[in-house]
């Protein structure tokens, strides 16, 4: 583990000292899958949502929901929506998505849904029962991970091996936030509805920086604190460690050196 930490900080040092440490431009600051628009927006609302998934139909589950989106009215009177959203959950109620880094081998089954293409993104500021609504095509995956933990004679973890069996499908889905930003429902065709409660909600006119990991509402600039936040989760995966889908930029279900480098390169 010490070698891994040394590698992390070595990579961070190189990135910070080299020309790879690029400033985030207006396109790079958008969530994954977003592109800049050529027509200047007249008005725009950006929101960031974090929620805890606790029901899958009638089944108790543990999971996370994260959404980052913009609804903008453009000068051409068109409306453009830019959005990213991810849900991850498991029926294993004894081992959460974020769990202790145990030393025993284990098998972990979890599910994910990632928004591929948003069709409509609506933010309601009136008395509507729905505070927020987004629909589109989602990529739904079932993942079975077989994890082997290798330790030395002192009981220190030296290696973590993982084999994954992944099946995916695409389906239409709708995410609705209600009850004054306290509850949400994600309905995806072919699946029982996912429901849960909101844990965090932010709305502002300035876009969010997808590479900013700390919850600093005063600035969009990536700092060393953001890099350290990802570094502290190095090696985490669903069911083992402080895994967070926001930090998994390459979508391989593990926070690795590529994710740390991505954040560092956008300082």
Task: Tell me the residue ranges of DSSP E strands in the chain.
Answer: 41-56, 59-74, 79-90, 106-123, 130-151, 157-178, 183-188, 194-204
User: Exposure string (b/e) for 137-166, b if CB count within 10 Å is 16 or more?
Assistant: ebbbbebebebebeeeeeeeeeebeeeeee
* pLDDT given at position 217: 61
Burial 238-248 (b: 16+ CB within 10 A, else e): bbbbbbbbbbb
How many independent structural domains does the chain possess?
A: 2
Phi, psi of 22 (to 5 degrees): -90, 150
Q: 78 and 61, same structural domain? A: yes
Q: 158, 186, 208: which is the final residue of a domain?
A: 208
Which token pair is 15?
A: 């990135």
Kindly state the tokens that stand for 184: 């949400």
40 and 15 both lie in a single domain: no
Q: pLDDT tens digit string along 75-85?
A: 444 444 467 89
Domain extent at residue 174: 33-208
Inform me whether the pLDDT recorded for 2 exceeds 60. no
Higher pLDDT, 58 or 211: 58
Min mean pLDDT across 81-95, 115-129, 132-146, 186-200 is at: 115-129
Indicate if 192 and 231 belong to the same structural domain: no
Q: Which of the listed residues 171, 187, 208 is the one where a domain comes to its end?
A: 208
Mean pLDDT of 130-147: 94
User: Of 208, 223, 257, which residue is a domain's last?
Assistant: 208
Higher pLDDT, residue 120 or 255: 255
Which residue, 173, 162, 109, is CA-closest to 139? 173
- Residue 121 binned pLDDT confidence (cut-offs 50, 70, 90): confident
């Amino acid at each position: 583990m010490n070698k891994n930490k040394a590698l992390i900080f070595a990579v961070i040092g190189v990135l910070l000292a080299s020309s790879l440490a690029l400033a985030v431009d207006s396109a790079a600051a958008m969530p994954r899958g977003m592109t800049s628009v050529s027509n200047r927006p007249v008005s725009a609302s950006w929101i960031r949502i974090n929620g805890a998934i606790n029901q899958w139909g009638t089944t108790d589950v543990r999971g996370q929901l994260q959404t980052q989106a913009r609804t903008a009215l453009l000068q051409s009177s068109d409306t453009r929506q830019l959005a990213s959203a991810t849900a991850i959950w498991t029926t294993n109620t004894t081992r959460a998505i974020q769990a202790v880094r145990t030393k025993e081998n284990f098998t972990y089954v979890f599910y994910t849904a990632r928004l591929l293409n948003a069709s409509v993104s609506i933010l309601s500021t009136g008395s509507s029962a729905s505070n927020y609504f987004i629909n589109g095509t989602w990529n739904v995956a079932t993942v079975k991970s077989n994890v082997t933990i290798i330790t030395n004679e002192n009981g220190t973890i030296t290696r973590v091996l993982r084999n994954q069996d992944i099946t995916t499908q695409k389906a239409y889905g709708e995410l609705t936030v209600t009850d004054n930003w306290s509850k949400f429902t994600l309905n995806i065709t072919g699946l029982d509805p996912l429901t849960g409660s909101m844990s965090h909600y932010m709305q502002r006119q300035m876009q969010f920086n997808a590479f900013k990991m700390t919850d600093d509402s005063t600035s969009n600039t990536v700092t060393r604190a953001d890099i350290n936040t990802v570094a502290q989760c190095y090696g985490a995966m669903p069911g083992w460690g402080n895994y967070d889908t926001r930090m998994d930029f390459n979508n391989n279900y593990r926070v690795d050196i590529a994710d740390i480098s991505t954040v560092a390169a956008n300082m």
